[in-house]
Amino acid sequence: MKALITGITGQDGAYLAALLLDKGYEVFGVIRRSSHRGVEDHRLRWLGVAHRVTLLDGDMGDLSSLVRIVKETQPHEIYNLAAQSFVASSWRQPVLTANITAVGVTNMLEAMRAVKPDARFYQASSSEMFGLVQQPRQNEATPFYPRSPYAVAKLYGHWTAVNYRESFGFHASSGILFNHESPLRGVEFVTRKVTDGVARIKLGLTKELRLGNIDAKRDWGHARDYVRAMWLMLQQEQPGDYVVASGRTTSVRDMCRIAFAHVGLDMDSHVVIDPSFYRPADVEILLGDASKATEKLGWKPEIGLEDMIREMVDVDLERVRTNQERA
Ligand code: NDP
Ligand code: GDP
């Protein structure tokens, strides 16, 4: 089996590549040309799989590159994970976010339609689409209410995947994944910002950690668990849409407390609220109901929040201690 992953250099792309390689897949990935050649694959290297994947130059904004890549690789499965994925940046770069996170999905689906319409397609949709939540627990039937240019773009991508399934009979599935983290999470996201900050404070490099809205609540899981759900969706006879979540919601404040407590520190002595991290509109609470994924895919998360945060703190302590890049 051959799989093509867009966004292979990101957190989920790296874990998914490792999972698929374990299952015997030949794995191809789209990589953006950068002047920093040699560092883009750091997550794949961290997982020890960089030498086992084939990377091809392309960009989600460049349809011709995607057509060429699908032609060259002839994948059985396409996992569309590439995106401008950081909510806060989406207000600063709304047009780019729309071009890549939204229209990029159409580009990928058009490349597939032109070259390999029988491939199975996964779209990385997001719980951010629920935004101003319309039900206390969100499932596949919950109405969407996006709260950022990122979430609006993801909604476009989600409906585009559904539409290609209904219009052309594509085996296209959309995974509505709630927040998932790991030691490979970008340092701008709040969990990793906290675990990196805790490591720096513990090792005496800094004294404070500046955060925004710490009353926000998220349903957090581990990326290693969540990429398994992606793969399971594409193994089903019928395509479909699935919520993937832990079913537990925790405030940023409480997540932070777990991280500080792990190294014997009190967060109240170090966390400073900095309004510059407030967002023009925030998502105050998310809580997912993954019953459909459990029933139809047999999926269940295995790693809880406490274990995940402790793993992230331990890895960041080691990174900071040995002067490794923050990425
Ligand atoms: P990351 O930000 O870690 O990875 C994003 C990937 O997209 C990177 O490989 C990045 O490449 C690539 N990319 C960005 N722009 C382009 C472009 N123009 N052309 C080609 N590739 C591009 O995200 P995650 O791994 O955390 O998330 C994977 C997907 O799942 C994303 O679509 C995200 O929005 C979505 N998602 C994530 C959730 C989470 O909690 N992690 C929750 C729900 C959905 P580069 O390395 O060059 O920057
Ligand atoms: P998101 O759910 O995809 O936006 O993931 P993030 O990890 O970026 O943010 C989760 C929540 O943490 C949001 O409600 C943010 O407003 C909140 N938050 C509070 N302080 C910070 C901060 O300093 N950085 C980030 N990224 N988020 C913060």
Q: Which ligand minimizes its atom distance to the CA of 89?
A: 2
Ligand 1 pocket check: which of 4, 12, 66, 174 to mutate, most ligand atoms within 8 Å of Cβ? 12
Is there a contact between 244 and 299 (Cβ–Cβ < 8 Å)?
yes
Domains, the chain = 2-181+220-244 (3.40.50.720), 190-218+248-285+303-326 (3.90.25.10)
- Of the candidates 271, 253, 240, 255, the one whose C-alpha atom is nearest the C-alpha of residue 305 is 255
Q: Could you tell me the distance, in angstroms and rounded to a whole number, from the CA of residue 119 to the centre of ligand 2?
A: 35
Q: Which atom of ligand 2 is nearest to the CA of 283?
A: 14
SS3 210: strand
Per-residue pLDDT tens over the stretch 117-158: 999 999 999 999 999 999 999 999 999 999 999 999 999 999
Q: Which ligand minimizes its atom distance to the CA of 217?
A: 2
Ligand 2 pocket check: which of 89, 181, 252 to mutate, most ligand atoms within 8 Å of Cβ? 252
Residue 84, ligand 1, Cβ within 6 A: yes
Ligand 1 pocket check: which of 79, 85, 230 to mutate, most ligand atoms within 8 Å of Cβ? 85
3-state secondary structure 7-68: CCCCHHHHHHHHHHHHCCCEEEEEECCCCCCCCCCHHHHHCCCHHHEEEEECCCCCHHHHHH
Q: Considering only CA atoms, which residue is closest to atom 1 of ligand 1?
A: 10
The pLDDT, as a whole number, for residue 40 is: 94
Per-residue pLDDT of the chain (327 residues; tens, 9 = 90+): 999 999 999 999 999 999 999 999 999 999 999 998 889 999 999 999 999 999 999 999 999 999 999 999 999 999 999 999 999 999 999 999 999 999 999 999 999 999 999 999 999 999 999 999 999 999 999 999 999 999 999 999 999 999 999 999 999 999 999 999 999 999 999 999 999 999 999 999 999 999 999 999 999 999 999 999 999 999 999 999 999 999 999 999 999 999 999 999 999 999 999 999 999 999 999 999 999 999 999 999 999 999 999 999 999 999 999 987 665
Per-residue pLDDT tens over the stretch 105-125: 999 999 999 999 999 999 999
